[in-house]
Every structure is written in structure tokens, then in C-alpha cells.
Chains A and B, each alone.
Chain A
Amino acid sequence: MGEGDLGLWAVLVAMIGGAIRVSTPFIFVSLGECLTERSGRINLGLEGTLVFGAMSGYAVAYETNSAWIGVLAAALAGTVFGLFHGWVCKLPRVNDIAIGIALMLLGMGLAFFFGKPYIQPVAPDLPAIPLGFWSSSPQVEAALRVNVLFVVGIALAFLIAWLFRSTRIGLVIRVVGDSSDAARAMGISVDRVRLLATAAGGALAGIGGAYLSLYYPGSWNEGISSGQGLMAVALVIFARWNPVNCIWAALLFGAAGALGPALQSIGISKGYYLSYAAPYVLTLILLIATSSTTRAVRGAPGELSITK
């Protein structure tokens, strides 16, 4: 210790650091998807929203020289995508999964098209809170540089959990998601609730994208997401539609992703392709371990087209 050489501890520090750095977009996208799915609809287009959010956030941050205005722009762009999805799905005989895939491609295509001039310029970054100030080890300090959006994401998860549990809004979303007939009997406009839930979900995914381009890795390019939006949608099922579980799932995923580079950096480099597959292997193991042949998926909203 001391001399900046942590040995095997370095792997643990790197995994904690990786969890904090990498998990934020997963948290935001999975919270957004959680909100949407609890209202009874699936939005598979969040990968496209994430990429478009990354592009629009970066572009606006560069033009206005303010990272926060960029985040706002990304949230607005995400809202527009969400509203579009919600509006189209309201029409009769429209499949929400198909629309989601279409919107994913549209979002990525638009982001690539409008993002061309912004690959080269350098936009301002979001600020970080140095929670590792107490440590003399540069590794620990670096691992505990926490971005504001990470804190906001965690707070938001608890807020949404509270919303579902103890507020009228949460109850309305849950009723719409579990039984649209019951909701209609109560006089709730099912389509409007779903529209708003999808729009809010889109806004969160947009913010997740802004984190990618404005903080970590911190620049806009066309390969920036590499499927993180899709993984986050899967995390929601893994988290059993519980917002607080989404945090854990996202952290676990981030930590497992940091395992490969961390192992190689301390000289354990055999089989790095296998250690890179760790997040996916972990997901499979956990899903199999928590599954059951005798009952349906626990916690799934009744109106969801994949579990109906």
C-alpha cells in the first residue's frame, strides 16, 4: 500500500469506481423504462433516445458552453421521442414493441445525421463531486469522483419508489399498468397516463445519454452507447420492475464491466474475452436462479404485452 500500488485491492477499487462511473446511464434508462412499463407499455426505443440524448446534449452544451443546458436539451429531446411513442401506440392495432424498434433506429439515424459536425469539437463536461478527498491514494480518489447525475439518479429511484407506493399518481400508473379495464371503470384516461409515463421515461433516457457524452466517456461519437440502452431495458425485468432494484442492477452491471480492464491492469490478462463477458454471464445466472417454472414473472405489470 501507500506507494500507489494496491495489488488485488486495486481490482476492488476499480470495480467500485467502474460501478459509479458506468452505471449512471443504466440507472436513468432503466428508471425511465420502469416508469413506462409500470403503466403497461414497453418502449424498446430507449436505445435510440439514449443516443439522440447523447448527441443533442453534447451539441447544445457545445453551442451554449453550458453542460447543464445540454442535459436539459437531452431531456427535452427524450420527452419528444417518448411523446411520439406514446401517441403512435394510442392508435388502434399498433404494436408497442414494433414502434419501439422503429424509434430506436430513427433516434440513432437522426443522431448520426445531426451529430456529424459535433464529433470533433470539445464540449464542457459536467462537474464531479470529489467524495474521495479523505484518501491519500490517487486510485481511491479517482474511483470516488462522483458525478452529480449519479446522485440525482439514486435519489430519483427512491422518489419513484415512493411515488408508486404512497401517492395517487403512483396508484393511477399502477392501475393503468395492471388492468386497463379497472382503470377505465375508475374514469382514468388510460392512453393519457401511458402517454405521460412514456414521455417521462423518454426524458430520463435522454438524460442518461447526456451523461455519456458530457461526463463519461465524455465525448460524442457514433459508437458511444454500444447497446447500453437495450441492456438497461433488460435490467428492468431483472430488477422486477422495482425502481430501487434498478439501482442495484445498474451498479452490479457497471462493476462487472470494470472487471475486465482491472484484471488486465494488474497483470491477470489470460482469457480477457471471458472476463469481458462477465456482466452477461452474471445476468444469466441471476435470472436463472430467481426464475420459477410454476409461477409467472413476479412484479410484472399485468398489461405488459410481453408477460400477458
Chain B
Amino acid sequence: MSMILHPSRRGFIKGAAALAGVSALSGFSAVPAYAAGLTVGFIYVGAKDDFGYNQAHAEGAAAVKAMDSVTVIEEENVPETVDCQKTMESMINFDGASLLFPTSFGYFDPHILEVAAKQPGVRFQHAGGMWNADKHPAHVGSYFGYIGMGQYLNGIAAAHATKTKKIGFVAAKPIPQVLLNINSFLLGARSVDPEITCQVIFTGEWSLAVKEAEATNALADQGVDVITCHVDGPKVVIETAAGRGAFVCGYHADQTALAPEKYLTGAEWNWAKVYTDMVKTTLDGGMIDNFVRGGLAEGFIKMSPLGPAVPEAGRNQFEAVKAEILKGGFAAIKGPLKDNGGNVIAEAGQSFVETDVALESMNYLVEGVVGSLS
């Protein structure tokens, strides 16, 4: 189905090139010539101006494009299927890319791993926490940011805006990064008012406009009055929620323009810094670390400007906690804490700071979150 619905443009060009006479290309080496400069490939699962995940990465790619002796190639709307292997192969073999950023979560296993096994000279950088030194090759790496902290700050702003003490979360899939965001959003809100609950609705896919709108409406029907999300393009959720009179917290990119009155704040990626650093390391002949992480302090993530609906007290608390997080070593998940099934997550005194790798395999929703994983 997805082959029919999403024909790969690159696949087509490749086919056409083969028909036109592949002999002309036979002298082309699979290992790219390096001295001529570095070719970097970015692959997105959706449109690169989606007000969300892909836009955040594309803004990073734009910053790389502005660097000297770097050529950037991009492809959008590449599904998490064998299509993305074709895209990677053609970026490597036809465009001479030696550094790839396949940005979507589902690209990693098996797609990046399969192409990486065939292309030892190419560096693969994947956004998300999937790379494991014991299992995966050394020319593959993962990078991610502690954006859960951003959702914690979202939660603080939400707690100061909610009247019904019900906040809501439209989530795509129950993977660790999404669960950490949901839990952080609620815990941030509960740090202000422990009676607040968070209703979560999973849509099952990264981008399903109608289902996201339905989920937002269902939350509003239940009296939820602050909504945030973790889907690829938050535009539909933000517009639908604001249309129902709910406040919104953004995610991935700045969505202030979509609902200026209702937008409280938002957790945004700042990939421009991360990507230019990585490309600079490569150009200087160094190796990028296989495991790259950072948060607010390292400039990996940033917060949208606070909206007009956040009251004075909320602003002060938001800024104070943000300053605390910037010092490093902040823990949103700390004991005593139970999950929403009553199991103990952390004993009193125990805490998981933002950099704790254990958070990257999160498989629970904390007490106060209404919802389940399957």
C-alpha cells in the first residue's frame, strides 16, 4: 500500500537513470571522494515544513547548508519501510553522501542497520535512543535531547492555566520518548498542583490528521482545558484545541502563530546547533560520538516564548524551574513515585536525573496519567 501511496521520487529517478544507460555511471565509486567536500543527506518521514518534527530537523539541515564545503541533500515523505533503504542507498551511491541523518524513529531497525552493514564507509546518525554499543556497528550513532524537561516546563505553565485540573496529551505511539514526555508533562503540572490529572489518547501513528483532530475533540469533551501533543505535525492538534477554547502547549517547533492567544509555551528542538557541531567534527577529520545527548543547558532544546495567558505567578515559577534545569542534574522522575497501575517506580529519595539512560527504556505511565500502553 505505502509503495502505491508514496512512490519514491528518488527510486523513480534511479530507475530512469538505469534505463538511460548505466554504463555512464559504472566508473562511480561507492566510497565517496572526500577531499571535494562533504555531502550530508537528511531524510524526513513527512513534509519539512509541517510545524513539527520534520520542520525542526529541516531547520537544522538549513543551518548545515550554510556551512562552507558542505553539500546538503534532502528527501521528504520517505515512509518507514524499505523505501528509506532505497533513499539511503541512492544518497550514498548517486550523490556521494558520506554522512546521513535518517531522522525518523522507525528508520533505525532494520533499515539503517541493513544499509550500514553494506556501507562501512558511511556515517549514519539516528535521532532517538536505539543505538547500543554491544549490538550495533561503530559507524552508526544516536543523538537525542532531553526534551522531557521541556514538557515538564510545559506542565508548569499548564498547571497555572487550567481551571478544571484536567490536562490532556495527544500521543502517537507508546515508545519511551513519548512516555517520558507524557509523564514529565503531568509531573511538571503536579509540582504546582498535585490534584491535576492528565488524560492521554494514543492515535497509533505519527501523522493522522483526522484521528488527531478526533482525539483533541474527545479530550475537550471530557473537560480537558490544556492540551499538548507528541505527533509529527502538531498543527492540527493546536488549531483544533484552540478552536474548542482549550489552552495549548507546543512541541517540536514554535506554534505560537497558530493560536497566539491560547498558546502557553512549547518544547522545541534546536537541531541547528547539534547538526553544525557534528558536521564540523566530521570536516575536521574527527569522529562523532556514537552517543550524543543534551538538554536545555547544552542548547539541544529551547522553550517557546511564554504566551499572554500565563499568569504572573506561572511566569515566575516557570523561569525559576528553568534556571534550576539549566544548572544540570535536574530530576523530573523522583520518588516516592508509582505508575498508574500502582507499581512502585521510585522509592522515596530515589531519583532519575535527566541524563539517566534508564529513562530511555521507560515503559510506564505515572500515577495521575489516565491511559494505558496497549
Contacts and interface: CB of A to CB of B under 8 A. Distances in A.
Interface of A: 4-6, 10, 13-14, 17-18, 21-22, 101, 104-105, 108-109, 112, 116, 119-120, 122, 138-139, 142-143, 212, 216-219, 221-224, 226-228, 257-258, 260-262, 264-267, 269-273, 276
Contacts of A138: 221
B151 interface: no
A5 B165 CA distance: 14
B199 A265 contact: yes
> Sorted from nearest, which 6 A-B pairs have the closest CB atoms?
A265-B218, A217-B213, A261-B218, A261-B215, A223-B207, A269-B372
B240 A262 contact: no
Contacts of A223: 46, 207-209, 233
A257 B371 CA distance: 19
A17 B50 contact: no
Interface of B: 1, 4-5, 7, 46-47, 49-51, 77, 164, 199-204, 207-215, 217-223, 233, 235-236, 239-240, 243-244, 257-258, 370-372, 374
B86 to A, nearest CB: 17
Contacts of B371: 264, 267, 269
B202 A264 contact: yes
A14 B4 contact: no
A224 B214 contact: no
Contacts of B51: 119-120
22 contacts: A4-B223, A6-B221, A22-B210, A105-B7, A116-B47, A119-B47, A119-B49, A119-B51, A120-B51, A122-B239, A142-B244, A212-B210, A217-B239, A219-B209, A221-B235, A222-B77, A227-B1, A260-B211, A261-B217, A264-B218, A265-B221, A276-B204
How would you classify the secondary structure of chain A's contact residues: helix, strand, loop or mixed?
helix
B210 A218 contact: no
B4 A119 contact: no
A287 B233 CA distance: 35
Contacts of B239: 122, 217-219
Nearest to B208: A226
Given A101-B4, A142-B221, A223-B208, A261 B201 contact: yes
Contacts of B215: 261, 264-265
A219 B374 contact: no
Contact of B240 (A6, A108, A143, A218): A218
B170 to A, nearest CB: 9
Q: Which of A17, A109, A112, A120 has the most CB of B within 10 A?
A: A120
A218 B241 CA distance: 12
B220 A142 contact: yes
Contacts of A119: 47, 49-51
Nearest to B49: A119
